[in-house]
Amino acid sequence: MTIQYTPLSALPYPQPTDPADLPAHLKGLAEAADGRTVLRFADAAARDAKVTAPVAGMIAWIGTPGRMMYYTGSAWVPVAPVPVFKVNLDGGETNSTAWSETLTNAVGDPMVASFTAPASGQVIVSVGGYIFSSATYGSYMSAVVRTATGAVHLAASDDRAALVNTPSRASVSTQFLVTGLAPGTVCSATPVYRSAIATNTATFDTRYIRVDPIP
């Protein structure tokens, strides 16, 4: 059989001189086109079990969490990364000078924002809320970024924190760039809080965290 291929997608088709074997011709065409369609799977595990040798440019719909993914040549990543936003309207406080993911007298902590790292491996993390101090000492709100294994990728820092050092209630926020994430992996960002000194009560209310993937 003399196989010819279409110029753009390299799909096979028979020649007039080939023996008539319609099932074989259709099978060859279907197999060639199979990996060029939008594949559909229940989840990433089902996709990886079926597509054991993906090639760059493949597209797959993942039923859970409901996302279109494409293969870059090294990882499956979202076709159109979308922001992840978490908010907690419940207020709380802390006297801890070490970073903490939970506040006293608050519910809903820790506030974990899970996201899929984009092809660039970069995201912008924003945190903020209404913050005030019981005295003229710092009340800090930052975030810790973790990999899919739970390992800390980027620790919280005063340099990446929303800060208030007055008893006057203020709406403040900060944002920072995170780089070096493994594309296609599910990571997380979690707000953390601390007080400059143990005698200061740092209070936080209407808190939020947002993760913006950079394509």
Q: Which domains does the chain have, with CATH numbers?
A: 4-78 (no CATH), 84-214 (2.60.120)
pLDDT tens-digit profile of 101-145? 999 999 999 999 999 999 999 999 999 999 999 999 999 999 999
Write down the pLDDT at residue 150: 95
Residue 190 has pLDDT above 80, yes or no: yes
Cα torsion angle, 85, 90, 96, 97, sign: positive
pTM: 0.78
Identity of the residue numbered 34: D
Strands (DSSP E) found in the chain: 4-5, 12-13, 38-43, 59-64, 67-71, 76-78, 84-88, 92-94, 113-116, 122-133, 139-146, 152-154, 162-164, 170-178, 186-195, 202-214
Write down the pLDDT at residue 64: 86
Of the candidate ranges 26-30, 91-95, 133-137, 139-143, the one whose mean pLDDT is the lowest: 26-30
Q: What is the dihedral of CA 159, 161, 162, 166, to 10 degrees?
A: -70
